[in-house]
Every structure is written in structure tokens, then in C-alpha cells.
Amino acid sequence: MSENESNALIVQKFGGTSVGDPNRIKNVANRVKGYHDRGFKVVVVVSAMGKTTDGLIRLAQEVAEEPSKREMDMLLSTGEQVSIALLAMALHSVGVEAVSFTGAQVKILTDGNFSNARISKIDTKVIENSLAKGKVCIVAGFQGVDVDENITTLGRGGSDTSAVALAAALGARECEIYTDVDGVYTTDPNKVPQARLMKKISYDEMLELASLGAGVLHSRSVEFAKKYGVVIHVRSSFHFSEGTLVVPEEQIMEKLLVTGVTLKSDESRISLTDIPDRPGVAAEVFSRLAESGINIDMIVQSTGQNKLNTISFTVLRKDVESSEKSLNTVLKIWGSGSMSVAKDIAIVSAVGVGMKSHGGIAARMFNAFAKEGINIEMIATSEIKISCVIDKEHGQKALQLLHDVFGLEKTAG
Ligand code: ADP
Ligand code: ASP
Ligand code: MG
């Protein structure tokens, strides 16, 4: 650390695997101690231990078919509360003054959208006071509190967002995200062994990758980082090598055509055919779904014919039954149209800023699928991404295929 780094503020987030057992928590404590001893002011954000959150969800399902959303958030927030306390104790054991806080205690204010709340404000006073006393501050990730003081959670993987939002609010220039892989790869290294570690990636590409299924970062954490200019450093909690920096596009020299590829395989497709072709129909469909708290992913509408139209879209598989329920009501009101559902679909996507200036990427993707007999059910594009809906059965193969076709294992990072 150089002279001018002394007393710099850093936010470090440790994910579930990184705090998965007592030994790992001790390792995290030693790493944090290292920074603290070098003069950094350290704010640590932690996730629940290992698969605790999954376990809590299962527990809720055992007592209620449709658990109350408020109580669900109350339950899930307990996972992180265990980790913060244990990490504080582990730091005390190695002689570091540390204090743990829940989201409510440091006033991480969110909207009232249980299980998928958005952070609206953070009052940094409590943390700043403790930091000024030389203490390491440990904050529970994934949770906040709404204006009525209900505990809320930020959506699965949301501790990343807690960390980056805290970094932004506290004016930290960097937020380290410690996880169980060495950084951001061209695709999930646990699915494609040839995946290549990237040294840097732009905010926009990372945002697309995260929204399209690269679970290594919660997509809202990248939104915060971009908005407030926080550099995210994704790295391994198991060793000390550098990972991947998520930075503004200007800081990336080489603009690759395709930077990364993703696979989402927990989605379903719903198609509404022969529905009326007139103003207000799409509005009705998607307002109904929004009222039931259902998030829509891809939407494709065809050109109407004979005053009839078709709209297809994707939802998370867990939401398919409640979507069907809402839409059956709409179809009844219209008195026309039918619904078909493909429960098991996959969405494969390619992302790269180079697509802005180069054509032909879509054709290469479609050709690769055609050669392997993979049928494309829906296509969606943006300036820097192309996504295809295919049968879930071909998902893994399609991901590998795209990784090969775009030469991702060979290109320089
Ligand atoms: P944590 O508990 O540390 O937040 P996550 O499981 O949320 O960890 O995220 C890390 C995982 O993200 C990795 O184990 C990896 O399987 C997955 N992943 C998906 N896409 C990518 C990618 N492009 N690069 C790196 N990891 C990825
Ligand atoms: N514990 C939460 C989850 O498993 C939040 C997180 O780990 O980021 O989704
Ligand atoms: Mg995560």
C-alpha cells in the first residue's frame, strides 16, 4: 500500500461459500485484519453461510404453501445475521475491534417490495462513527428496511448490491467482491471448463451478463457501480491473486465482438395466440402480471393479422402457475385467444460491446444452432446482446457451442 492509500476506505463483500464454515470465517477474519493492519478503513458485507438461504426457504415451505412475503423476508434475513456476528467474533479473536450491524441498524432504506426490494437511501452516520473509532464495520448483506420498518430482502444474490450501494454511499472508490471463483469468466467456469478469466470488463457488458444469467454478480450491484463510478473487483476468497475489474468502457482497450456468453435454465415460455389486435391488449397482459409481482424477461410480439395477434414472453419457472392464473382471467374477459406454455426452456445469450459496430454476430449464432439442429423459439436483441430461447434440453450444448464459435477461450483478455 502506498502512503496515500493509508486510511483509504474499502468495502469487501464475502459470499456464501467464502463464509461457509467456521474455518472459512476465520480465514476471512485474517484477510480483513490484513487490510485493517495496513491502515485501511474496512467495511465488510457478508452473505449467509453456505446454502443457509436455500435451507430457510425449504423450512418455510414446510409450514405454509404460500408463506407471507413479509414473514419470508423476516426469515431469510436471519441467515446474514448469523454470519455478521460470527465474523465479528472471529475478528475479536485475532485482536481486531469490529462491530456488526443489520441492514436496519445502518438504515439501509428500501422500497416495500418484499423479496426483491430496491435500496433507496443509506444513512452512513452509524458506520462512519464506528470507522472513526478504528473499528471494522460488518454489515449484513441482502437486507434493508422499508419506511414502515419492515425487514426487506433484495433478491437472491443481493448481498453484492448491499456492498456496492454501501461503497457508493460511503464514497469508497473500490468494492471487492470475494467469491468462490477467480473473477468474471467468459462464461460460468463450472459449466464450461474452457472459460477464460477476464482482467477487465465494462459496466455495460457486465450488466447484460449479470441480467442474462451470469450469477457471479447481482445485476443491481453493477447498476449502482456504474451510476456512482465504483470499481468492482471480483476475486477469489481462497487466494490472493487479482481477479476481474468492472470499469467504465473507456478503460477497456480491446473491444471484443463477443465478451461473454450466458445460459439461463430456470425459465418458461408463455404464448398468447389469437388475442385481439388493438390498443391496450399488451398493457392489460403485463399490468395483470405486474400486479401479481411477476417479472417478465423476454417479450416478442408478432405483426397482427386479421385483427388478431400473438404475444410470447418468458417468466421464471416458479412463476408459471400464477402467470397462467392471471392470464386465464384476461382471456375470459376478451372472449378470444388461447394460451400455450413451454415449461422448460433455456435462454442462451452472447454479449459484447463490439456488436455496436460489427454485424454478422447474429448470423454466426443462428448458423451454429442450425448445424446442431437446435431450434430457436424466440430471439431478442439489444445494442450489445443477442438472446435466443431454445428447448432446455439443448441449453448446455448451446452454451458450449457459442463459447467455441466466438473463440472465447483463445482471445486475449
Ligand atoms: P457468492 O456466494 O460468492 O455470491 P455466487 O454463487 O453468487 O457466489 O457466484 C459465484 C458463482 O457464479 C460461481 O461459482 C460460478 O459458478 C457462477 N458464474 C456464473 N457465470 C459466471 C461467470 N461468467 N464468471 C464467473 N462465475 C460465474
Ligand atoms: N444469502 C442470499 C442468497 O443466498 C444473498 C446472497 O448470498 O447474496 O441469495
Ligand atoms: Mg452471489
Q: What tens digit of pLDDT does each residue of 75-104 get?
A: 999 999 999 999 999 999 999 999 999 999
Considering the chain, what percentage of its residues have pLDDT values greater than 70?
98
Q: Which residues, including other chains, have CB under 8 Å from residue 276's CB and lie 6 or more apart?
A: 307, 308, 309, 334, 336, 337
Could you tell me which residue, 304 or 147, shows the higher pLDDT? 147
Helix and strand numbers, DSSP H then E, in the chain: 11, 18
* Contact indicator for 290, 359 with CB cutoff of 8 Å: no
Q: Domain map of the chain by residue range?
A: 3-180
Q: How confident is the model at residue 255 (pLDDT cuts 50, 70, 90)?
A: confident
Q: Is pLDDT of 253 > 90?
A: no
Q: What is the pLDDT of residue 304?
A: 77
What is the C-alpha to C-alpha distance for residues 206 and 245, in angstroms, rounded to an integer? 10
Closest residue by Cα to residue 300 from 256, 260, 347, 257 = 347
The residues whose Cβ lies within 5 A of ligand 3, an ion, are 15, 157
Element (H, E) at 375: none
197/302: higher pLDDT: 197
CATH 3.40.1160.10 applies to domain 3-180: yes
Which atom of ligand 2 is found nearest the CA of 48? 1
- CA distance linking residue 232 with residue 225, whole number of Å: 7
In the β-sheet with 108-110, what is the strand arrangement from edge to edge?
119-122, 108-110, 143-145, 151-153
| pLDDT at res. 413 | 44
CA–CA dist 212, 349 (Å, integer)? 7
**Does residue 106 have a pLDDT over 50?**
yes
Q: What predicted TM-score, i.e. pTM, was given to this entire model?
A: 0.94
Q: Answer whether residue 348 shows pLDDT above 90.
A: yes
Indicate which atom in ligand 1 lies nearest the CA of residue 15. Answer: 3
Q: Please give the distance, rounded to the nearest whole angstrom, from the Cα atom of residue 158 to the centre of ligand 2.
A: 6
Q: Give the ligand with the smallest distance to the CA of 53.
A: 2
- DSSP state, 361? H
**Separation in Å, CA 301 to CA 149, 292, 308:** 41, 22, 11
**CB 158 less than 6 A from any atom of ligand 1:** no
